[in-house]
Amino acid sequence: MDVVETERIRVNVFAPGDPESRAAALEAFAAADSVGKGVDARGTVPLGDVLLIGSVATHALAYLINTLRKAWSKGVVVDAIGRQMTIRQDPALPRGVVVVRSKSGEVTVRDGAGLADIVGNALPARGGDGAGTGGSGNA
């Protein structure tokens, strides 16, 4: 049987520190057929977020983001500018809004429609070095 390998990408989710938001992020990872590994940390100032790292199939990214969009109390920023994708809540954005930043610019989404295309376009072309798709630090 031929095995079709799905491309997966490392995603860093900075979930708000409250238990509900963290649980929602873990559920979003699970819904996207992934596991968000929590990185418990201590800060010089009490931390307002908790980092969850997961490896998500590219076709499930939009689903993950849309789940977070609906679960969190404020808007969501998806940063796909660099070699790793980072998702965090932005208290300055109203709930339900997603801002996707990529090398080609910034797109604001107010509902789930079209999110898959926008996220797909935001993903950088992956080279053969495997950068951002696995390697050290992946959960």
Partner 1 sequence: MPDEGRDPGRSILFDRYQNPALAAEAREMSMAFADYSYLRRLSGEDDPDRAWEAHFAHTQPQVRRVLDGLLGTFPPEERERAEALAGSVEAFALPSAAVESRVFENPGEATGYLIGISPIAVQLTGEIAWGLNGAHPYMAKALPKGWEAATMHAQESLALSISRYIRDLEGAGEGPVPMGMLNLAMTHPAGPGKWSHGRGPRDFYDAATAFALAHELAHIDNGDLLPAENRTTTALLSQQIAPLLGISAEENEELTADAATFTSCFNYFLGTWLMLNERPTGILGVLKRLQWKAQLGLTAWHSARRATEACEAYYSAIAVLSDISFRRGDDDAASRLMTTAMRVPFVQFYVQRMREEVLAPSYGPFMWTDEDVLYRKAHHSWRVHFVEDLLPQTSRHQRADLPDWLASLKTPGELAKQPEVLTSVAADWQGKIADLEREKGADDAETLSARAHVAHLLSEAQDFAGAVAVLEELLVDVERVAGADDRGTLGIRHNLAWLRARSGDVAGGIAAFRELLADQERAFGPDDPEVLDTRYELAWLQGESGDVDGAAAAFAELSADYERALGPHHAATLATRDSLAHWRETAGDAPGAAAASVEARTSQYPVLCPDHPGTLPAYEARLEEMERRLGPGDPDVLTTRWFVAVLRGKAGDAAGAAAAYAGLLDHDLRPLGFDDEDLRLIRDNVTHWQGRADRSEPTAG
To the nearest whole angstrom, how small is the minimum distance from the Cβ of residue 117 to partner 1? 22
Instruction: Give, in order, the Cα–Cα distances in Å from 71 to each of 31, 96, 103, 139.
Output: 13, 9, 27, 23
Q: In what order do the strands lie in the sheet with 105-109?
A: 37-39, 49-57, 8-16, 85-90, 75-79, 98-102, 105-109
Distance CA 82, CA 79 (A): 8
Does 35 help bind partner 1 (rule: CB under 8 A)? no
- Phi and psi angles of residue 123, each rounded to the nearest 5 degrees, phi first: -65, 130
To the nearest whole angstrom, how small is the minimum distance from the Cβ of residue 31 to partner 1? 21
To the nearest whole angstrom, how small is the minimum distance from the Cβ of residue 120 to partner 1? 19
Residues of this chain, 43-72, that bind partner 1 according to CB under 8 A: 43-48, 51, 53
Does 81 help bind partner 1 (rule: CB under 8 A)? yes
Count of residues of this chain found to bind partner 1 when the rule CB under 8 A is applied: 29
Residues forming the site for partner 1 (CB under 8 A)? 12, 37, 39-48, 51, 53, 79, 81-84, 86, 91-92, 101, 103, 135-139
